[in-house]
Amino acid sequence: MNHPPIADSRLPELLRAMPKAELHMHIEGSLEPELMFALAKRNNVALRFPDEQALRDAYVFNNLQEFLDIYHEGTMVLKTEQDFYDMTCAYLARAQADNVLHTEIFFDTQTHTGHGLSADVVINGLYRACADAPAKFGMTASLILCFLRHLSEEEAFACLEEALPLRDKIVGIGLASSEVGHPPEKFAKVYARAREIGFRLVAHAGEEAPPAYIWSALDVLKVERIDHGVQAIHDAALMQRLAKDGIPLTVCPLSNLKLRVFPTLAQHNLKAMLDAGIVATVNSDDPAYFGGYVNQNFTETFAALGMTSQHAYTLARNSFEASFIDASVKRAYIDRLDATFASFA
Ligand code: ADE
Ligand code: ZN
């Protein structure tokens, strides 16, 4: 859809003001050093860094695994339902400041059950914050449980089982953690079960691993969205499939930069994806670690790639269209998006 022309000089302001949905962020990756230190103190957990700045200085990564190791260390400070609630509220406040109207939040129960917590402490804390989001932050929020792909399918089944009493608090199932060597088909049976139960399905695929992982996420796991998916660019048939079937990609440009998936933002393929007709969206992934929340992802990527207000509209609209919200809420959010663009014209 086209919208009235908007001056280039107003693009950064438009990117910040436009209503958007965020569909790819890991709540554990929103834990800022300040809150991490506060929770460490509250829960008597020792951190190996002397202060917040020393921790931030350690956020230099050569690949996904180097990030995952430090991310996992940070999750050790989370102990109580209140911790999960507080972490989620801190993220929701930041998202609200970026004019996010709806967010679908990833969490990995297995990280926390691996530290001796019970799944309900995690899910109830996260869910209480999501339930408070409309009144507290003027937005909607839902939860997607991600299996850890470096663990076995049997462990994913156990995780699903544990979450079932809280089924109504979770909208979907995802797949995260170390990608290369853990292809989607490893989780074929547990995804089939999740599908039977009625969960919406997504999976990280083609972040670092080749296009074959995206094909199997689609054809074996039967996911509705692909998280990252940027490696699809190397497979023309896959690009055509994604465009033809309108499979959304939840792209995370600053994450890709920090994890060296692309050497510079100017070499990122977001614009090429959009220009190829792919339903791409922009997201922050792990904003506390990757240098910014969703608006920072928009403004830096647009500047680096010379993208336009038409791209901005397409990305924001895609974010609502690709979300798992009810059709009437979706319509209302897109109306707000249209009103913002009209006010800038
Ligand atoms: N878990 C948190 N962030 C992730 C990412 N970018 N890829 C895979 N797993 C993750
Ligand atoms: Zn991710």
Q: What tokens appear for 160 in the block?
A: 């699903």
Per-residue model confidence as pLDDT tens digits over 311-320:
999 999 999 9
Per-residue model confidence as pLDDT tens digits over 227-273:
999 999 999 999 999 999 999 999 999 999 999 999 999 999 999 99
Is the pLDDT confidence value at 137 over 90?
yes
Is the pLDDT confidence value at 1 over 80?
no
Question: In the CATH scheme, what architecture does the domain 9-344 have?
Answer: Alpha-Beta Barrel (3.20)
Q: What tokens appear for 158 in the block?
A: 């156990």
Cβ contacts of residue 223 below 8 Å, gap of 6+? 191, 201, 202, 203, 205, 217
C-alpha to C-alpha distances, 218 to 147, 190, 214, 221, 246, nearest whole angstrom? 17, 15, 6, 6, 12
Query: Any idea which ligand is nearest the CA of 176?
Result: 1
For residue 311, how far is its CA from the centre of ligand 2 (angstroms)? 23
Q: Is the CB of 98 under 6 A from ligand 1?
A: no
Distance CA 187, CA 191 (A): 6
Could you state, in order of their start, the residue ranges of all structural domains in the chain? 9-344
Percentage of the chain lying above the pLDDT 90 cut: 97
Q: Is the CB of 75 under 6 A from ligand 1?
A: no
Distance CA 175, CA 145 (A): 8
pLDDT of residue 117: 98
Minimum CA distance residue for ligand 1 atom 1: 177
Q: Which of 179, 207, 208, 300 is catalytic?
A: 207
Per-residue model confidence as pLDDT tens digits over 7-37:
889 999 999 999 999 999 999 999 999 999 9
Per-residue model confidence as pLDDT tens digits over 218-233:
999 999 999 999 999 9
Q: What is the mean pLDDT of the chain?
A: 98
pLDDT of residue 3: 74
Q: Which of 92, 107, 99, 98 is nearest to 141 (CA)?
A: 92
- Among this protein's residues, is 104 annotated catalytic? no
Query: Any idea which ligand is nearest the CA of 149?
Result: 1
Distance CA 238, CA 28 (A): 31
Q: Is the CB of 19 under 6 A from ligand 1?
A: no
Strands 140-148 and 172-176: parallel
Q: Is the CB of 286 under 6 A from ligand 1?
A: yes
Q: Is the CB of 256 under 6 A from ligand 1?
A: no
Pocket test for ligand 1, best of 182, 202, 286, 297 (most atoms within 8 A of CB): 286
CB 146 within 8 A of CB 175: yes
CB 256 within 8 A of CB 268: yes
Cβ contacts of residue 275 below 8 Å, gap of 6+? none
Q: What tokens appear for 95 in the block?
A: 């998202």
Confidence of residue 56 (pLDDT cuts 50, 70, 90): very high
Neighbours of 328 (CB within 10 A): 8
Structure pTM? 0.98
Compute the average pLDDT of residues 34-50. 98
Q: Is the CB of 26 under 6 A from ligand 1?
A: yes
Cβ contacts of residue 203 below 8 Å, gap of 6+? 174, 175, 184, 187, 191, 217, 221, 223, 226, 227
Pocket test for ligand 1, best of 27, 68, 110, 149 (most atoms within 8 A of CB): 68
For residue 245, how far is its CA from the centre of ligand 1 (angstroms)? 25
Distance CA 340, CA 292 (A): 23
Query: Any idea which ligand is nearest the CA of 30?
Result: 1
Confidence of residue 2 (pLDDT cuts 50, 70, 90): low
